[in-house]
């Protein structure tokens, strides 16, 4: 995948689950991707915070997208191992995820991500960010299958 916003947005659109969640691409460079998710009631636990699966999914797919920017044409990146540390409740207006490839490779890529909860209004004051999760993943580089 080319490291441009149009290609990244198309890549995210290929995943029905990401589309259903409402994940949007905001920035991309080789080995780096940022995404956002505006929180809605369907993303929340009974406690009013984002479900851990939402934060984990956001981190996982954003890390995979960062790795995909470095994959050769005709190859897909899939998660081989995922670790997510939930640091505090993910409450706010939206979640922001920044992911980076920390070690690219031909068959495996090592990635990290941070998920931030944004709170506050946009009238005059900027949003406040609080770190709610850190993640790491090993991504496997596999040939794209045509079946």
The structural domain count of the chain equals 1
Helix H or strand E encompassing 12: helix 5-13
Compute the mean pLDDT over every residue in the chain, rounded to the nearest whole number.
94
Question: Can you give the residue range of the structural domain that contains 80?
Answer: 5-143
pLDDT tens by residue, 92-145: 999 999 999 999 999 999 999 999 999 876 566 677 999 999 999 999 999 987
The pLDDT value given to residue 38: 97
pLDDT at residue 127 in the model = 79
Whether pTM exceeds 0.85? yes
Closest to 71 measured CA to CA, from 23, 136, 8, 135:
8
Q: What is the CA radius of gyration of the chain?
A: 15
Q: Crossing angle of helices 5-13/52-68, nearest 10°?
A: 130
pLDDT confidence of 52, banded at 50, 70, 90?
very high
Q: At 106, which CATH number? A: 3.10.129.10
Contact (CB, 8 A) for 31 and 66 = yes
In this prediction, residues 19-23 reach a mean pLDDT of 96
The strand pairing partners of 103, in sequence order, are: 110
Q: Which residues pair with 62 in a beta bridge?
A: none
């Amino acid at each position: 995948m080319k490291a441009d916003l149009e290609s990244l947005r198309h890549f995210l659109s290929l995943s029905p689950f990401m589309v259903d969640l409402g994940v949007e691409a905001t920035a991309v460079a080789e080995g780096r991707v940022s995404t956002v998710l505006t929180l809605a009631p369907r993303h929340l636990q009974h406690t009013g915070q984002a479900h851990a699966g939402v934060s984990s999914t956001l981190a996982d797919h954003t890390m995979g997208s960062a790795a995909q920017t470095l994959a050769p044409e005709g190859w897909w990146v899939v998660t081989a191992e995922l670790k997510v540390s939930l640091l505090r409740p993910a409450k706010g207006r939206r979640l922001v995820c920044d992911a980076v490839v920390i070690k690219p490779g031909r068959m495996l890529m090592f990635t990290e991500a941070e998920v931030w909860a944004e709170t506050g209004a946009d009238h005059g004051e900027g949003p406040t960010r609080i770190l709610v999760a850190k993640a790491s993943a090993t991504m496997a580089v596999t040939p794209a299958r045509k079946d």
